[in-house]
């Protein structure tokens, strides 16, 4: 069927044109119908009624997150006078350890001579932490902290192709953990002051957390693929790898992070205290 109105599309470069042709082909549509489908999707997004009095709109969930299990361990010394900072120090060390492990793994799988940036968002789904504290006779003012942890993570490769898949409207650089009460009820302070559309992130691993989840901010207008990555909280690693680690911290969640303190007893160990933060 021929339509009454006609428009011509110009592409700024060959790569964009080839990507368009490939996407139209993979969707089993003609080029015209593929473009029409994109326009209809954009109109549906613009016309979608808000969930809660113009505060925000919740879109269908995003599910393309790669699940990863990881366990590791480390130790560090801590001045006794700073013992009140113990859990914060443990979390900081774990975050550093996670990003180093992921960057090493990623660099082994990519072309190290590539000039393009590789952006990855790592989501902390769940953390179980075991630690012990022992004295250091050679330095009695310090203590030795040994930590092991098991974590469930989600890895998201924020590529240009994925960015274009959503026409630059899904801001994968600003995924946040939000309490459901802040999402579905009028918050005191809007967590996304310039965004009123959110897409929930489907979690592949069920947790005991019923109070919150991860959300992607969505805009009605297209955004350019990010270039100044430090502005978005990414940490740079060799071979143009950039990683952003997100997820609830020790102050924000009671269902996703647990600490277990262990003490040595003879040749074994015993649990002193197990608690969630």
Given its phi and psi angles, is residue 24 left (phi above 0), alpha (psi -120 to 50 degrees) or beta? alpha
Question: Can you tell me whether residue 66 is helix, strand or coil?
Answer: strand
Residue 88 main-chain phi, psi, to 5 deg: -65, -45
Q: Say if CB 71 and CB 151 are below 8 A apart.
A: yes
> What's the pLDDT tens digit per position in 122-154?
999 989 999 999 988 888 889 999 999 999 999
- Among residues 66, 162, 160, 72, the alpha carbon closest in space to that of 122 is found at 66
At 146 the pLDDT is: 94
Bridge partners (DSSP) of residue 200 are 215
pLDDT lower than 70: segments of the chain: 1-5, 10-13, 16, 26-27, 37-56, 111-115, 185-195, 205-206, 251-254, 264-277
User: Which residues lie below 8 Å from residue 23, measured CB to CB, with a gap of 6+?
Assistant: 34
203/66 Cα distance (integer angstroms): 10
pLDDT score for 270 = 52
Structure tokens of 243? 């990683």
For 9, 10, 38, 159, 167, the CA distances from 14, given in Å and listed in that order, are 13, 10, 20, 18, 18
Mean pLDDT of the chain: 79
Contact 199, 183 (CB under 8 A): no
CA dihedral of 8, 13, 15, 17, whole degrees rounded to 10: 10
pLDDT at res. 211: 80
pLDDT value of residue 50: 43
124 — phi, psi (to 5°)? -80, 105
DSSP H helical segments within 156-234, as ranges? 160-165, 180-184
How much is the pLDDT for 17?
75
Q: What per-residue confidence (pLDDT) applies to 51?
A: 47
Residue 35, helix vs strand vs coil: helix
Contact call for residues 232 and 246 (beta carbons, < 8 A)? no
For residue 133, give the 3-state DSSP assignment. strand
Distance CA 94, CA 194 (A): 32
Distance CA 91, CA 86 (A): 9
Q: What is the pLDDT of residue 175?
A: 92
């Amino acid at each position: 069927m021929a339509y009454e109105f006609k428009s011509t599309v110009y592409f700024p470069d060959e790569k964009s044109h080839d990507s368009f042709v490939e996407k139209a082909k993979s969707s089993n549509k003609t080029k015209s119908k593929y473009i029409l489908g994109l326009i209809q999707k954009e109109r549906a997004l613009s016309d979608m009624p808000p969930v809660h009095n113009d505060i925000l709109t919740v879109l269908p969930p995003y599910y393309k997150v790669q699940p990863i299990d990881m366990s590791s361990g480390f130790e560090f010394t801590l001045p006794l006078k700073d013992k009140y900072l113990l859990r914060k120090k443990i979390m900081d060390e774990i975050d550093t350890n996670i990003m180093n492990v992921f960057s090493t793994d990623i660099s082994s799988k990519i072309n190290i001579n590539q000039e393009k940036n590789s952006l990855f968002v790592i989501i902390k789904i769940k953390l179980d932490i075991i630690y012990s504290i022992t004295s250091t006779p050679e330095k009695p003012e310090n203590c030795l902290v040994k930590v092991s942890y098991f974590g469930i993570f989600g890895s998201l490769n924020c590529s240009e192709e994925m960015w274009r898949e959503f026409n630059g409207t899904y801001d994968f650089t600003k995924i946040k953990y939000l309490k459901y009460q802040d999402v579905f009820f009028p918050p005191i302070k809007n967590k996304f002051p310039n965004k009123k559309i959110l897409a929930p992130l489907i979690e592949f691993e069920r947790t005991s957390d019923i109070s919150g989840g991860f959300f992607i901010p969505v805009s009605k207008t297209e955004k350019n693929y990010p270039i100044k990555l430090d502005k978005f909280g990414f940490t740079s690693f060799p071979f143009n790898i950039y990683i952003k680690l997100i997820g609830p911290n020790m102050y924000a969640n009671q269902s996703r992070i647990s600490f277990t303190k262990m003490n040595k007893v003879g040749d074994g160990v015993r649990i002193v205290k197990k608690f969630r933060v």
